Every structure is written in structure tokens, then in C-alpha cells.
Amino acid sequence: MDPRLVERGKMLVVGMIYYGENKGTEIAGLWQRFNPKSAAIRSAASEEGAYGVCFNDVRTEDPNFCYLACREVTDLDDIPMDMVAKTLPKNTYAVFTHRGPLSEIGSTYQQIYGTWLPASGYALAGPYDFEAYGPDFDPTDQAKCVLEIWVPVKP
């Protein structure tokens, strides 16, 4: 599992948030609520693509995490009432590709954080990461499902 390293400037995102342990289908339910409402985001940076930002401070014992189903925007001037905005800072990211069913994404995260990161010579540069859902993401065909996981890192 060799990532590519990418420098990315700050990123503005707007979306709907979930906070909890995600023991069931809460994240899938969030996406089901967000997708029909995403057209209300007037300043979306592009017509396609979405992000799932995972906020989790690994330094705590809290089993809960915050997940934001969102789209990138060009400004924060017109945020729909039932959505929130976040700014992700400029960072260097290790970008990993997950191929296959979403039910197996936990295994990809385990490889990233349990195997790659400890041996990489890098440390986390923030208490978040994000999933990028581009044109190759097809949740209806789990065998062909492709997404990227962007992890902020520093030497």
C-alpha cells in the first residue's frame, strides 16, 4: 500500500454532519439525507464529486467521531440552514486508493493507520482525514467501487 503524496491548499466544504460511534448504518443514512439536498449548495466548486471528512482525535479514548458528508465550495457566503461549513487547512496528504465494497473500507483504514503510518516516517498533521468520491465511485456496484482516502501527514 504505497500512497502518493500531494500538497493541497486549504479546502472549504459544506455539508451535513453525524456524530457517534457508527455501529449501524448511520453514515449511509447521512448520505441518503445529504445527496438530495446537496443541490442547495450554491457555491459548489464542481458539479460532481463529494467528500466524507472524518474528524477524530486519536489522542482521546472517546469512541465517537464526527463525519461530514460534504461538497467542496468556493466560498462560505450562502450555507444552507441545515448544513455546516468547515475549512480544512493547507497540508501535505498521503493519498490511498480503496477499491472494492464499502463494507471493506475499515480494512483499508486499518492498513493505513495500523501498518503504513507507523512504518512510514510520517506523523499525522491533523485530527482528520477525508474520503474523496470521484467519477469512479459507484456505490451501486460494490465490486467496482473506487475512492481515495486523504490523510494529512508531516515528516
How many structural domains comprise the chain?
Answer: 1
pLDDT tens digits for range 113-133: 999 999 999 999 999 999 999
DSSP state, 138? -
**CATH classification at residue 100:** 3.20.80.10
Q: Please state whether the predicted TM-score (pTM) of the whole model is above 0.95.
A: no
pLDDT tens digits for range 26-83: 998 999 999 999 989 988 888 778 999 998 765 566 777 899 999 999 999 889 999 9
Structural domain harbouring 112: 4-154
CA distance 4 to 109: 16
For residue 94, list its beta bridge partners.
5, 151
Q: Is 149 helix (H, G, I), strand (E, B) or coil?
A: strand
- With a CB cutoff of 8 Å and minimum separation 6, the contacts of 81 are none
